[in-house]
Amino acid sequence: MSALQTVRDTVAGWLRSGEIELFIGYEAGTVPLRATPTFIRNPEDVDRLIWDATCENNLAAFLPKYRGKKVGIMVKGCDSHAVIGLLQEGQVIRENLRIVGVHCPGVVDVRRVAAQLGVPVEQIDDARIEGEQVIVGEQTLALRDVLFEGCQTCTCHAPAIYDVTLGEPVVDAAEGDSFAHVREMEALSAEERWVRFAQELERCNLCFACRNACPMCYCNICFVDRSMPRWFNQTTQPEDKQFYQVMRTFHLAGRCVGCGACTRACPQGINIRLFLDKLRADVQELYGYEAGEDAEAKPPLTTYREDDYNDFIL
Amino acid sequence: MLSKKALTSTLYDLMDLYRVIAPCQRDGELRFDRVSSPREIVLDYGNTAKSPKGVFFPQNEAMIKFGRQVDQFNQIKQVPLDRTPTVLLGVRPCDARSFLLLDAVFAQGRYLDPYYQARRQNTLIVTMACASPRQTCFCHAFGSGPYDREGSDIFLRDAGDAYLVEGVSQKGRDLIYQGYLGRASQAYLDKAVEIEAQANARLADIEPVAGIEKLLPGLFDSPIWQEISEKCIACGTCTYACPTCHCFNIEDRVLANSGERVRAWDSCMYQFFTQHASGHNPRPDQAARWRQRTMHKFEYLPRNVGLFGCVGCGRCVQSCPVRLDIRGVLRRVRAAAEAAATAGANVEE
């Protein structure tokens, strides 16, 4: 019996015993190279569950909706840190969760596949993953060449929290690599950084897919939706888009776990994680803290230590 | 007939007379925008990620501007309507049909939108037949297809090294007669037909949409909406990609001494779309919002204006971050209606 079938049976068992009333996992989607979230309540339906490199969504984003309910979930390494983040913030209770932690070698980025083949993303009609290869029509690409950018420098392949696991352990990238893109940006002058930031956001539609895909963006009323005061307008003027991105980024300071769901959700392919990773790097440097590592840890922006970095306070 | 070699010079002539909006590369993506040279135009493409509805119904539009005088914003300035003669070149048949739905909303009946109408009345639609539909395309479920002329003023078909040019409307025919294009030989006509057959062969099987409007009212209280909407993250990407979605918000964008009243795209998928000032929200969850989205497109609009609020372009399917497929929604609706009908029939026995 395959490892996946064992997991399916385990999930069916959890459902039958009443340990969970719902399991959130992935099933095959209708668009090539992208799986879709599935919500299973009936143990007979567990055969829908799949696991492969098309399973890119961070399903932890659905957990706050099921507060108080007993829920099972499939999480990749990165997603599992989001679960820990939600535990830290009291949004889920460990006893209510049954977690299938997956050793994830990385998820495929359809835009990269398209770029390598020199075709628009929508033109990829017939594609599948076979082992370490992505087969598109007559052409074959190496899966490792078309993984999502964040996956290529991932240091958290292993699930950090789980009840059962799936998959074989994967070698992490060297510790220094994951913030290389942040260092590159930091090396630029303030003006150059502003130009790059503004350019990156030119394509932003203000659709809020990034916010909605983020497991840590669960506020009942987001600053975006406030009308009194109206913090910014719903236009695609640069200042409105920039305001939104900056504010969301700062609201995630010390909370973002670096899962990359925002970047993968963006319909315009904007490199959103670049901004978030800058803050993650800063928080690590200034407070020696990483969100989503320890369910008991208190986030630095909610606690006070005498030796806290406070050079920014006048 | 227009040979592809002669296309550039023809377009230069066109650009002397008209503002030309066509697919071009902007900010790293292919989208409809004003072009200043024919060389920017991309006609050999599938479809743009964003629909061309922004040509008539921009994502943000200032409707009035105002200035402050002492302590009141009472200097009102009208925003001039945009009547620039325009050619919208290279839209696909699905998008050409979408404008008919937008017309029903903004340019018919009791409430006429002058901003929309000014642009629409001064624009000629030159459609390019769709030679390679995607597997997410389902225009044919509406009785349309990749070679449907509906909504076009001029219709172009690929015929190898030339385009066949047809005047569909009087406006279109008038423009064609202004230049000499030459009749197409049988060889070109045959080539165009061959390409059309290849296009049709690519269309995925799908049940016709017609009739679904009768099934929906009976499903208002069905549990399918909860199942359908469970994975929706309410981001609104589908609405922004859709050529027929047209709901909007109006807000004032105020600076220190001036401001504008802006109309901006909104989405029924957003949590606060129907939030009342009292705090009550009649569509409190995603299930209610998905039910509305489906019924608006496939029941209310057909009933009110005789057109579906969907042209089957598949953009929502491509861009949805969780791959919620509207074709799957329609299948669920049909299955639920059938199940209810069978259950009802069993009860009667």
Q: Which pLDDT does position A219 carry in this prediction? A: 94
CA dihedral sign, ordered B99, B103, B106, B107: positive
Interval A73-128: pLDDT, tens: 999 999 999 999 999 999 999 999 999 999 999 999 999 999 999 888 878 888 99
Task: Give dist(CA A244, CA B27) in Å, integer.
Answer: 20
Work out the minimum CA distance from B315 to partner chain A, whole angstroms: 9
Work out the minimum CA distance from B328 to partner chain A, whole angstroms: 9
Work out the minimum CA distance from A183 to partner chain B, whole angstroms: 24
Residues of chain A contacting B47 with CB distance shorter than 8 Å: 122
Task: Give dist(CA B24, CA A23) in Å, integer.
Answer: 44
Work out the minimum CA distance from A311 to partner chain B, whole angstroms: 33
Q: Which pLDDT does position A228 carry in this prediction? A: 83
Residues of chain B contacting A235 with CB distance shorter than 8 Å: 59-60, 253, 262, 264
Q: Which pLDDT does position A175 carry in this prediction? A: 60
Residues of chain A contacting B136 with CB distance shorter than 8 Å: 30-31, 122
Model confidence at B347, pLDDT cuts 50, 70, 90, reads low
Overall average pLDDT of the A178-183 stretch: 88
Task: Give dist(CA B285, CA B272) in Å, integer.
Answer: 10
Interval A28-84: pLDDT, tens: 999 999 999 999 999 999 999 999 999 999 999 999 999 999 999 999 999 999 999
Asked whether the whole model's pTM tops 0.80, one would answer: yes
Q: Do B272 and A35 touch (CB under 8 A)?
A: no
pLDDT at B318 over 70: yes
Facing residue for A39 by CB, picked from B230, B266, B318: B230
Work out the minimum CA distance from A259 to partner chain B, whole angstroms: 15
Interval B321-345: pLDDT, tens: 999 999 999 999 999 999 988 887 7
The alpha carbon torsion through B234, B239, B240, B246 (nearest 10 deg) reads -140
Using CB atoms and an 8 Å cut-off, which of residues 232-271 of chain A contact chain B? 233-237, 264-265, 267-269
Contact status, residue B244 vs residue B56, Cβ threshold 8 Å: no
Q: Do B49 and A31 touch (CB under 8 A)?
A: no
Q: Do A123 and B134 touch (CB under 8 A)?
A: yes
Q: Do B134 and A125 touch (CB under 8 A)?
A: yes
Give the Cα-Cα-Cα angle B135, B141, B144 (nearest 5 degrees): 100
Each domain of chain B, given as residue ranges in start order, spans 2-201, 212-344
Q: Which pLDDT does position B255 carry in this prediction? A: 84
pLDDT at A177 over 80: no
Contact of A203 with chain B, judged by CB distance below 8 Å, is answered with yes
Nearest CA in chain A to B319: A267
Interval B120-133: pLDDT, tens: 999 999 999 999 89
Facing residue for B264 by CB, picked from A37, A234, A264: A234
Task: Give dist(CA B74, CA B63) in Å, integer.
Answer: 15
Contact status, residue B101 vs residue B120, Cβ threshold 8 Å: no
Overall average pLDDT of the B91-111 stretch: 95
pLDDT at A176 over 60: no
CB atoms within 10 A of CB B255: 8
Residue A232 to residues A211, A249, B275, Cα–Cα distance (Å): 16, 15, 18
Residues of chain A contacting B231 with CB distance shorter than 8 Å: 36-39, 62
Pairing of strands A127-130, A97-102: unpaired
Q: Do A265 and B324 touch (CB under 8 A)?
A: no
How many Cβ pairs closer than 8 A exist between chain A and B?
116
B contact test, residue of A107, A234, A266 with most B CBs within 10 A: A234
